[in-house]
Structure 1
Amino acid sequence: MSTQETGLKRQIGLFGAVSILVGAVIGSGIFMTPGTVAAAAGSFGPFMIAWVLAGASGILCALVYSELAPAMPEAGGPYVYITEAFGKPGGFVYGWSMTIGNYIPLVAMLATGFATNLAKLIPGITPTGIKMIATAIILALMILNICGTKLGSTVANIFTVGKLLALILVIVGGFVILSPENFTTVVPEAESASSGVLSAAFPAFLAFGGYYQLAYMAGDIKDPKKTLPKALIIGMLIVIAINILISVACVGSVGFAALAGSETPVVDAGTAIFGQAGTVIVTIGACVSIFGALNGGIMSYPRVTFSMSQHGLMFKSFGRLHSKFNTPYVPTLFICLVALIFVWTGSFSTLLAINVFAGRILECVVCLSLLALRKKKPGLERPLKMPGYPVTTVLAIVITLAICLTCTPTQMLQSIGLMATSIPAYFVFHALSKRSA
């Protein structure tokens, strides 16, 4: 499906694309996960291995997109790839599962994370007040992105720069006051087996997820066959460098034992480095970061249901573009309004577990689609092929599955339950499409 057929305009250049990716990936993860990763790892060695493993998985999966996205630069990203590889039923199951099991809970989780961090600067705020802030930020970004992707991209640029400045302060300050004594173990290093590394890599992966959002914007990117691969690779390298440097700075300034289990590891590091001023600065940085990730998600997620509608697998209204702003406003409304239900009914930890497990399982399906398309469509024009194929593609699947399977059974069942609704949903929409034919 060409850009002319969908009606979307290509307005986003390389810097905007990199900003969207960095803004989408550097969100709540890096501000909240280092403590959890440290507790699961048990010592600094496995702690660093976990970050490298999660980063390797992220960059391998990003390279899968660097081949698929330029070859099929339609709006909707992975939904399009999977439809081409496995047919419309496979595309529908992916699109529905990702929207219900990953995107909507993630929007709610990020909004809640933003409000929770902001609450540190608002004495006396109640839990209801936090939910009201989360509601307000979702509604504000919903309106912003309905008004145009160019405006949304501009916001992504501004907030990406802002959050990077806050993180750079912690990185530089952390290395200045870094103390070797802080790199101590929580448990004997001999007790940290490979399963501990994988368990630690699961929360670490939260700080690397979200790169796929840029692929959904392929229909809006200028010269996507050249720009998209560059943006994916440059953006992921920036993300990996920032996450590793921040993690080392946190350990060096706070201490490994104190860091393990902390729910506000980067804020704790800011306090250790700059005192109370650091608490305020880094808290603001966390809010800016989460805002950027939330903006990137609300900008990109509706492209999946938009593309599904274009293929006759979603309500026709989901394929409409706003008459004035030329944006897919109906799916934007749907995702944001349903996310509000999650904000008011789910906890942060529940939303986190649901969306991460679903996202990782479905990411493996995207990798499988690359393997299938190499055989099914050998003549497809591929401006950039995945280096080391097929070994690197299989490795991406193996690493991602190994990390994913460290989830608890309850977390798996919750996520699988939401994704399983895609099966009856497919039969309903298939029947409706037959009636209207």
Structure 2
Amino acid sequence: MSSSPIPTGYLRSLRPWDAALIVVGGIIGGGIFLNPGIAAQRTDSGLTLLLMWVGAGVLTLIGALCYAELGARRPQAGGSYVYMREAFGPLAGFLFGWTMLLVIYSGSSAAVATIFASYACALFGLPPAAWGLPLTVGALVIVAGLNLFGLKLGAQIQNLFALLKLLAVAALVVCGLFLAGAGHGQVLAADPARHGVGFMGAALPVLFAYSGFTYLNNLAGEIRDPQRTLPRALMLGMLLVIVAYVLVNVAYLAVLGHAGLAASHAPAADVMQQVFGPIGARVIALGVAISALGFCNITLVAGARVLQVMGEDGLFFRSVARLHPRYHTPNIALLLLIAWSIVLTLSGTYGQLLDYATFGDWLACAVGVSTLFWYRRHDDATARFRVPGYPLMPLIFIAVIAWVVLATMRDNPMNAGIGLAIIAAGVPAYFIWRRLFGLKP
């Protein structure tokens, strides 16, 4: 079977280091600065907590290896949308794009933009009630402005964001382990107050912190030598993230202990304040704000590529398929996605949307990985990268995500039900769209 044609409108300007930093920037957002406290509330010891972060990292690495082969097989814009459309038909691709637009990418961006606003208010001493919403909307507008003039400029700025957030992570690790970490003996200690706490409850906040590893595949049409670069960038980026996340959690436990981490609403600020006082809290607030802004940047840029390819296929407005003649960027798609993210922000429901986004994102990842079985059977092209341990590795990933999804439906049936309802609503929307506008022949 011949591969799908690669769009010629994009410029392959992303170098290997750019691609690796996109992986880092797409994963490290606000989660590592906030979610370890939530995960600690749902585990009974530092050892269990660290095993959760390591295990989720290994699971995500398996998913990244699967997406590395998919990206090497189809080195074009669109990522998961392209894989699902080719393997399971246009309805599956449409459902991914539908859910991505309504909640996964837009909801995540709206929610993380509010994290940027809250920390920016703390940094500059502004009242959140008056400045929170303007700063949230302003962050999304800034992201649009950074990427309207070509991905090369956007990638340079994104590299800066990624390096600054790694610097913030390094500052936390140094402060926690060497300057304030007098309690290294308590890192693995049990927490008597949380004896018998379930292990599964910590999965969602930890997995949310690891989500975003698929974004690079959406930009595969703009990567130099993608069949070689994309797999290497995914592996390097994921390894950097896993090491960073585990070390940060060790630092939190060394300073706060498991009980203190479970009681903390802002563990990064608590660690830095112990070392440097209020100045330290303000410094880490800057780091979190930059990290959140970088995450929004990657999410919206990656999502715009999906909408652009959907437009080319006739599964979305044709105007969205247009690339800027000079900058080769899908500006109409980008502005549409950012506009919808702003609407979600104004609606005030972004907190719930983040829950739906996490649920939908990992469900989409599992479906995306499952397309690998179709490609192995129906695509006779020799991929330059193949998942080691196939078919066991993708089966492990799909099984664990299915377990998490089922556990979420059991523990939080309302949010899971709404998330599934949003996905299901795409089925009639697809047939209405097909009837009104038809599909690209």
Same fold at TM > 0.5: yes
Shift of 1:356: 0.1
What CA RMSD, in Å, does the superposition of the two structures yield over aligned residues? Answer: 1.7
Shift of 1:124: 4.6
Q: Which residue of 2 aligns with 1:312?
A: 314
Change (3 A) 1:261 1:332: farther
Shift of 1:151: 1.0
1:381 aligned onto 2:382: yes
SS at match of 1:46: helix
Q: Which residue of 2 aligns with 1:16?
A: 18
1:325 aligned onto 2:339: no
TM-score (norm 2): 0.94
Post-superposition CA distance 1:313-338 (Å, at most 9, x none): 11101101113322111111111001
Contact 1:23 1:296 in 2 (8 A): yes
Contact 2:220 2:230 in 1 (8 A): yes
Q: How does 1:283-432 map to 2 (within 5 A)?
A: 283-377=285-379, 379-407=380-408, 408-432=412-436
C-alpha distance in 2 between matches for 1:327 and 1:432: 28
Post-superposition CA distance 1:237-268 (Å, at most 9, x none): 00000001001101111221111042211111
1:88 aligned onto 2:93: no
C-alpha distance in 1 between matches for 2:378 and 2:48: 40
Paired AA for residue 435 in structure 2: A
SS at match of 1:147: coil
Shift of 1:351: 2.5
Q: How does 1:185-264 map to 2 (within 5 A)?
A: 185-187=190-192, 191-192=196-197, 196-264=198-266
C-alpha distance in 2 between matches for 1:124 and 1:150: 34
Post-superposition CA distance 1:267-314 (Å, at most 9, x none): 111112322221011111111111111111122111111111111211
User: Percent of counterpart pairs with the same letter?
Assistant: 31
Shift of 1:90: 1.5
Contact 2:313 2:439 in 1 (8 A): no
Paired AA for residue 257 in structure 1: A
C-alpha distance in 2 between matches for 1:381 and 1:435: 30
Q: How does 1:142-153 map to 2 (within 5 A)?
A: 142-153=144-155
SS at match of 1:260: helix
Paired AA for residue 36 in structure 2: P
Contact 2:314 2:439 in 1 (8 A): no
Contact 1:22 1:238 in 2 (8 A): yes
Contact 2:66 2:369 in 1 (8 A): yes
Paired AA for residue 266 in structure 2: T
Paired AA for residue 256 in structure 2: V
Contact 2:314 2:440 in 1 (8 A): no
Contact 2:107 2:350 in 1 (8 A): no
Shift of 1:207: 1.5
Change (3 A) 1:225 1:107: same
Shift of 1:206: 1.4
Q: Which residue of 1 aligns with 2:274?
A: 272
Contact 1:12 1:150 in 2 (8 A): yes
Instruction: Give the number of equivalent residue pairs.
Output: 432
C-alpha distance in 1 between matches for 2:130 and 2:336: 23
Contact 1:25 1:207 in 2 (8 A): yes
Contact 2:168 2:284 in 1 (8 A): yes
Shift of 1:345: 1.5
C-alpha distance in 2 between matches for 1:206 and 1:430: 34
C-alpha distance in 2 between matches for 1:349 and 1:333: 22
Post-superposition CA distance 1:371-398 (Å, at most 9, x none): 2222222x12211111101111010011
Change (3 A) 1:436 1:239: closer
C-alpha distance in 2 between matches for 1:250 and 1:188: 18
C-alpha distance in 2 between matches for 1:162 and 1:93: 35
Shift of 1:198: 2.2
SS at match of 2:209: coil
C-alpha distance in 2 between matches for 1:208 and 1:165: 18
Unpaired runs of at least 5, structure 2: none
C-alpha distance in 1 between matches for 2:191 and 2:345: 35
Change (3 A) 1:52 1:30: same
Change (3 A) 1:261 1:365: farther
Contact 2:313 2:440 in 1 (8 A): no
Contact 1:185 1:257 in 2 (8 A): no
Paired AA for residue 196 in structure 2: E
C-alpha distance in 2 between matches for 1:317 and 1:187: 59
TM-score (norm 1): 0.95
Shift of 1:189: 7.0
Contact 1:62 1:212 in 2 (8 A): yes
Paired AA for residue 258 in structure 1: G
